[in-house]
Chains A and B, each alone.
Chain A
Amino acid sequence: MQKENIIKVLLFFAVAFNVLGVFANNPQQHHEEGQADQESLRVDTKREVKEYISHHLQDSYDFTLYSDSEEGKHIGFPLPVILIDDGGLRVFLSSEFHHGEKVAEVGGDYYKLYHGRIYKTNAAGDMTYDEEHHPTNEKPLDFSITKNVFTILLTSILLLLLFGGLARHYRDKHIPTGFGRVLEPLVIYVRDEIAIPNIGKAKYRRFMGFLLTVFFFVWILNLLGMTPLGVNVTGNIAITACLALFTYLVTQFSATKDYWKHIFWMPGVPVIMKIILIPIELLGTLTKPFALMVRLFANITAGHVVIMSLIALIFVTDNIVLDGPISVLLTLFISVIELLVAFLQAYIFTMLSALFIGLAVEEHDHHPETNDIV
C-alpha cells in the first residue's frame, strides 16, 4: 500500500517536471528567432529591477502599492508636501506631481519631482543640468510628510496608544487586559534580560523609558518594513543615525566621574600612554554609536534587497512556471528569517545601548592597594 503511494508521488513529480520542462522549453524556441531582441530585453529588465530596488530603498512622497509606468497607472495614496520657499509656506498633496510626470503649480510657483527630489522650475517643467547631468535647479526647503515621516508618526501614535493603555491599567487595577497581556512579558523581558544585567539593579530604572522606547520603536518599524506598504524606515541611515545619536547623548550625559577619568586620564598606565590613550578613548566613544547606526541600517537594507532580488528573479529569468514557485518559496523563507532579524536587531540595538550606558554609569570599585600598580 505504502509502496504504491510512493510510486504515485514519484509519478506525479515526473509528470509535473515534464510539464514544467515543456513550458520552460517552449518560450526558448520562440525566442531563438529574435535572440538579439531578447538580449536587449534582458539587459533592460535587469536595469529596471535595479532601479526598482534602489527606488524602494529610498524615501518617497507617496505610498505606491502598484504602478505600471508603461500604461501610466499608479495605485497608492498621496501624502502632503510641505515646502518653504521665498519665505512662504507651500502645502499641497503629492498627487499634484502625478509621479513626476507633471509640474505642480502652487501659488504661482512651479515644482517638479525629479528622481525623488523636488526642484523649482518654470511652467513647462524645464530642468537645467551641469556637466555631470546633475540638476542645477533651485531646491526649496522641504519639510514634507514623506513615507518615512508618516510611518514614524504612525508608529509613535501606536506606541502612545498601546503603552498609554497599559500604564492606565496598572494605575486602575493591577493586571493588564487585552493586548496589554502581550506587551507585559515583553516589557519585563527588556527589564530583566537587557536593562538589569547590563546597567545594574541600582541604576536601571532611570533608563528603562529610553530602552523600552528604542526597543519597541525599532521593532515595530522593522515589522512595518515587512508589510507590502513598502516602507523602509529603519533601513534609512539618517534615521538609524538619529537613534544612535540618542544613545550617544544618553550615555555621555549620564556618565559618572570615573567614566570621564578613564577617558582623559586612564589610571594605572604610564604618563605617555595616558596621553596616547586620550584620542583613542575619545574615538572609542564615537565608534560605538557609529556601529549601532551601521548595523541596524545595513541589516534591514540587506534584508529588503535580498527579498526584492528574489522576487525579481522571476522577471530576470522571464520564466514564471519554473522560477515562480522557487522564487516564492525562497522569498517566504527569507521573509521568515527577516521576522527573526526584525526582533533580533531591535534586541541588539537595545542591548548594546544598555551595555554602553552600563559602562558609563558603572560605579568604580576602588582598590587603592592594587589599582595604581597594575
Chain B
Amino acid sequence: MSAERLRVAGAAVAATTDRGGRIAAVAIAFGWHFAVNVPGIAGGWGEYRVPWAAAAGWVLFVVVGVLATARLFYGFAVPVFPLLGVLLIVDVLVIAITPDDQIFNTLNWAWGTIGWFALLLLYDRGVGALVAVLVANAVFGLVGVVAASTEASGAADLSRFVMYIYGTGVLPIALVAAMGVLRETALSTAASEAARAALESERLGAAHAQQERQDRLGIVSEAAGALLHDLATGRADPADLDVQRACALAAAQLRRLIAESDDVPDPLLHELRACVDVAERQGVPVDLIAVGELPELDVAIRRRLAEPLAATLATARDWARVTVVAQPDEVVVSLTTPATAGPAKESHSWPMDGVVDYWYERDEELVWTQTRWRAA
C-alpha cells in the first residue's frame, strides 16, 4: 500500500473524529447566542442607546453563524475574513450602544460571544487567527471600558476587564487546541492501523505466492524428472524433436520459477504469467523476464499493456520471449516470437489514448509486439 493511500485512509478517519468537535462548536455558539444573549438584549432593551441596533447585530451574528456552519459541514465557500469583519463591527457597535454602567453585563453581549462565532469561521485554520480576533476584541473592549469607567471605579474596572477577557478567550482557544490534538492522534492511529493491515495483507499475499510457486515447482519437477529419467534409461531419444521440445518447455518453466523474485505478485506480472501459462499449456516454451520495480498502475493501463501481447502470444507456435522493463515513469512490455504463417511483412503502430503506445511488427523471422506506458 502506498504512502498516499495510507494518508488518505488516515484523513478519512480523522475527518470522522473531527465531526464531533465541529458539532460541539456549533452547539456552544448558538446555545450561548440564544440562551444568554436573547434574555440579555430583551431585558436591557430600554437601556440601549439605540435598541434596534442591538437586535440587528444579534441577527447579523446568526447570519454569520449559519454561513460558517454551512462551510463547516457542507464545504460551502464563504468569505471567511469579510465575515470576521462583520463580527468585529457588530462587536464595536454593541460596545458603543451599551450604557457605561452596563459594560460588564449581558447587555454588552457581543464581547463575550464573538470568540465562539469566530471559532466557527476559523475552526480548521489553526489557533493563530482566532487569537488575533480575540486580541482585537480585547482592544475594543479596553477602549470601551476606559471610556465608560469613572475615576473611582477605574482600577476595579480594569481588573474585571482582565477577568472578562480571560474568561471569554480561554475556552474557544482550548477547544481549538484540543481538537487539533485529537485530529493528530486520529490521523496517526488510522495511518498506523492501515500500515499494519497493508503489511498483513502483504504477508498473506507473499505466503500465497510462495505456496503457488511450490505447487508449480512440484508439477514442473515431476515432468522434468520423468523426462530426465526417460533420457537416462534410453526410453526417450534426444534426437527426437518432440523430446527436444518437451525439454525446452520444462527448462523454460524452471527458468521462469527461478526468475520469479517478487514476494508479492505485481498485478501486471500476474496477468502476464497467466497468459504465459496458457501458451505453455499449448506446448510453447516462454521466457518471461522482468527488470526493474513496477510502479502502481491503473487497471485500464495494465490491461492496455498486457492485452495486445496476450493476443499475439496465443498465436505463438515455437518459442516466445516476454520482457517487462519497469521504471517509476515508464513500463515497456515486449513479446517476440518466430514468425509463422501469415503475411511476410506487416507493421502497425498506434498510440492508445496517448498513454500506452503499441506497435506490432513482423518480418520473415520475427513477430514483435511492444506496449509502452509513459507517465503523463
Query: Do these two chains really belong together in a complex?
Result: no
- Chain A interfacial positions (CB closer than 8 Å to B): none
